[in-house]
Amino acid sequence: MRPAHPTEQAVGMEHYASDADGVGGQLREDDEHFRVRELERFATEPVDAPTDAYPHLVFRVTLSGWDTNDFASRLSDALGMSRERVNWAGTKDKYAVTTQLFSVYGADPEDLPDVDGAEVEVVGRAGRSLEFGDLAGNAFELVVSDPDRPANAAEITDELHAFGGLESPDAAGVSIGVPNFFGQQRFGSRRPVTHKVGLEIARGSWEGAVMAYLGNPTDEEPEGTQEARAFVQETRDWQEALERFPNRLRYERSMLHGVVECDGEPGPEEFRAALERVPSNLQRLFVHAAQSYAFNLMLSERLERGLPFDEPVEGDVVCFSDTDAPEGLELPDTDRLQRVDERRVRSVTRHCERGRAFVTAPLVGTETELADGEVGEIERRVLDDLDLAPEDFDLPGEFHSTGTRRAILVRTDLESETDPLTLSFALPKGSYATVVLREYLKVDPVDLG
């Protein structure tokens, strides 16, 4: 089994599913080389619908060079309203061309500002805001720049086709399967610490969580930033650290302001309040990243043990497909779960073969029930190693999580072109294009963007 890049191993992705050498190269040499389009699933009324019943304006935005959070902040500033009134279904990357829906409470079409790098198309009105996950998935068109071994793409495709539990590929098109890891950007592509913050929160250490975010310098950052992080980590001199952290690190500075402004020596409540100064979606992300890290470790252990991803073994928990998914997209519905005992293995396997059921692993929270058998042993071992338990996620405010389960395999139809090497595919919501691309490139995840 081929070991993953050390940076990927640090966030729980310890192996590749394919053994062939990667094609090399890099992604995102240009924003145009990484195109993402949401597969929408959100009902709207006409734009002239009454605003008392439909107060949320919904619009489609194509962004170039904009992180979703940054664009939301720019939008709320221009509208003169709280950023909490701007909502979206999925967070997209800055170095890409992305098309996605936004909603704003209490705005009219003529209020929307002109923003460089943003093309806005009003869609309609809705009775509620967009919520995270209000989409079916995303379609990707990705160009690999300067590949060293482009011909290897065909061998990798064959291996991933087999990993997905599929028959021999045909000339018309190829379906592939990869472990449904959380990609590097879930944890921070250049500074993977988000899960470390979440682990400290789940363990009840609010100071540890703040320090995990403020400290932990990495070589990928500018020297001045590294020095500022090292300083606060060594001294706990909050006021001086505030002077040293650059203005562009606004979340770090916001946390530092929270600590500096408290009366006396900061304690757990003050550190928690400092964490709560960052946007609510980032607060949730801290805990979600800790859950994602444990999930990745569980998948890596399953790979090591040679257990299948495309079909269940006794003790597994499966979910069933979302019958309202767009045609051609396998979309798991994790609200419909079934535990697989010895009697059900064969029948559930048939459902998995037809794309009607999916083997899952837990994103651990207060309501998580772990699997049985060997799979349950894997789940419990990972949690024990991390000093975590489901009840640890009974947390205040945005940090609380009941948990859920997630499919361990993602399959997609892949189209490819050779000059330039271009890969096109669609993934269900919550799955990462980089977990497909990492199998093809097998490079430092920084080059995956």
Q: Is 93 a catalytic residue?
A: yes
- Strands 357-363 and 317-321, sheet pairing: antiparallel
pTM assigned to the model: 0.90
Tell me the β-bridge partners of 59. Answer: 102, 122
Asked whether 288 and 406 are in contact (CB, 8 A), the reply is no
| List of the chain residues with pLDDT < 50 | 171-172
Which amino acid is located at 39 in the chain? Answer: L
> Is it true that 6-32+137-180+410-448 and 282-407 share their CATH fold?
yes
Asked whether 399 and 363 are in contact (CB, 8 A), the reply is no
What is the distance between the alpha carbons of residues 255 and 262, in angstroms, rounded to a whole number? 11
Q: Which two tokens stand for residue 41?
A: 């699933």
pLDDT for the residue 91: 86
Q: Which two tokens stand for residue 28?
A: 């995102």
Each domain of the chain, given as residue ranges in start order, spans 6-32+137-180+410-448, 42-133, 206-278, 282-407
Asked whether 14 and 4 are in contact (CB, 8 A), the reply is yes
Q: Please state which architecture CATH assigns to domain 282-407.
A: 2-Layer Sandwich (3.30)
pLDDT for the residue 167: 60
Q: What's the topology of domain 206-278?
A: Hypothetical Protein Yqey; Chain: A; domain1 (1.10.1510)
**CB-neighbour burial class of residue 220 (10 A; exposed 0-12, middle 13-18, buried 19+):** middle
Catalytic residue among 31, 93, 134, 316: 93
CATH 3.30.2350.20 holds for 6-32+137-180+410-448: yes
pLDDT for the residue 51: 96
pLDDT for the residue 172: 45
Of 2.60.130.10, 3.40.50.1480, 3.30.70.3160, 1.10.10.60, the CATH number of 42-133 is 3.30.70.3160
Q: Which two tokens stand for residue 335?
A: 């609200």
- Strands 56-64 and 118-126, sheet pairing: antiparallel
